[in-house]
Amino acid sequence: MNFLDPKTYKTIFRVATGIIMLDFFLNIIWLPIAVHNTYGFQSAEFVFTQTYNETGAPPVWNWMLSFYVTAGVLVGFEASGHISEETKDASITAARGIFSSAVASGLLGFPIVILFLFCTPSLDTLYSFDAPQPFVNLYAMTMGRGGHVFMNVICILGLIFNTTVAGVASSRLIWAVARDGVLPFSGWISAVSGNKEPRNAVAVMLAVAALLLCTILPSPVAFQSLVSAAGVPTIMAYALICFGRVFITPHQFQNARFSLGRWSRPLTAISLVWNLYLASILFSPIEFPVSADTFNYSPVIFGAITIFGIVTWWITPEERWLPSARLGKIREIEEEMARNKIVPGQEHN
Query: Is residue 164 domain-shared with residue 242, that is, in the same domain?
Result: no
pLDDT at 346: 42
pLDDT at 321: 65
Buried b (16+ CB within 10 A) or exposed e, 149-158: eebbebbebb
Query: Is residue 236 domain-shared with residue 328, that is, in the same domain?
Result: yes
Q: What is the pLDDT of residues 21-30, one digit of tens each?
A: 999 999 999 9
Q: Is residue 54 part of a domain?
A: no
- pLDDT of 275 above 70: yes
What's the whole-number mean pLDDT along residues 214-224? 75
Query: Is residue 138 domain-shared with residue 213, that is, in the same domain?
Result: yes
Query: Is residue 206 domain-shared with residue 244, that is, in the same domain?
Result: no
- pLDDT of 56 above 60: yes
- Top-ranked range on mean pLDDT: pick from 3-7, 200-204, 311-315: 200-204
pLDDT at 349: 41
Domain boundary among 186, 217, 248: 217
What's the whole-number mean pLDDT along residues 136-159? 93
Buried b (16+ CB within 10 A) or exposed e, 86-114: eeeebeeebbebbeebeeebeeeeeeeee
CA distance 21 to 320: 46
Residue predicted with more confidence, 51 or 32: 32
The total domain count for the chain is 2
Could you please report the per-residue DSSP string of 311-334? HHHHHS-HHHHS-HHHHHHHHHHH
253 lies in which domain range?
A: 218-349
Query: Is residue 240 domain-shared with residue 339, that is, in the same domain?
Result: yes
Query: Is residue 163 domain-shared with residue 265, that is, in the same domain?
Result: no
Contact 201, 175 (CB under 8 A): yes
- pLDDT of 202 above 60: yes
Query: Is residue 201 domain-shared with residue 289, that is, in the same domain?
Result: no
- pLDDT of 117 above 90: yes
Q: Is residue 142 part of a domain?
A: yes
What's the whole-number mean pLDDT along residues 199-203? 91
Query: Is residue 164 domain-shared with residue 312, that is, in the same domain?
Result: no
What's the whole-number mean pLDDT along residues 236-263? 83
Residue predicted with more confidence, 69 or 61: 61
Output the average pLDDT for the chain.
Answer: 83
Query: Is residue 271 domain-shared with residue 319, that is, in the same domain?
Result: yes
pLDDT at 26: 94
Query: Is residue 297 domain-shared with residue 161, that is, in the same domain?
Result: no
What's the whole-number mean pLDDT along residues 242-247? 91
Residue predicted with more confidence, 83 or 302: 302
Query: Is residue 317 domain-shared with residue 228, that is, in the same domain?
Result: yes
Q: What is the pLDDT of residues 305-342, one digit of tens each?
A: 889 888 988 887 766 666 655 555 556 666 666 666 54
pLDDT at 32: 96
Domain boundary among 183, 217, 251: 217
pLDDT at 82: 74
Q: Is residue 186 part of a domain?
A: no
Query: Is residue 223 domain-shared with residue 213, that is, in the same domain?
Result: no
Q: Is the dihedral of CA 253, 258, 263, 267 positive or negative?
A: negative
Domain boundary among 188, 217, 246: 217
Global pTM reads 0.78
- pLDDT of 200 above 80: yes
What's the whole-number mean pLDDT along residues 22-44? 94
pLDDT at 324: 55
Q: Is residue 64 part of a domain?
A: no
- Top-ranked range on mean pLDDT: pick from 70-74, 142-146, 164-168: 142-146
Q: Is the dihedral of CA 213, 215, 216, 221 positive or negative?
A: negative
Burial category of 24 from C-beta neighbours within 10 Å (exposed 0-12, middle 13-18, buried 19 and up): middle
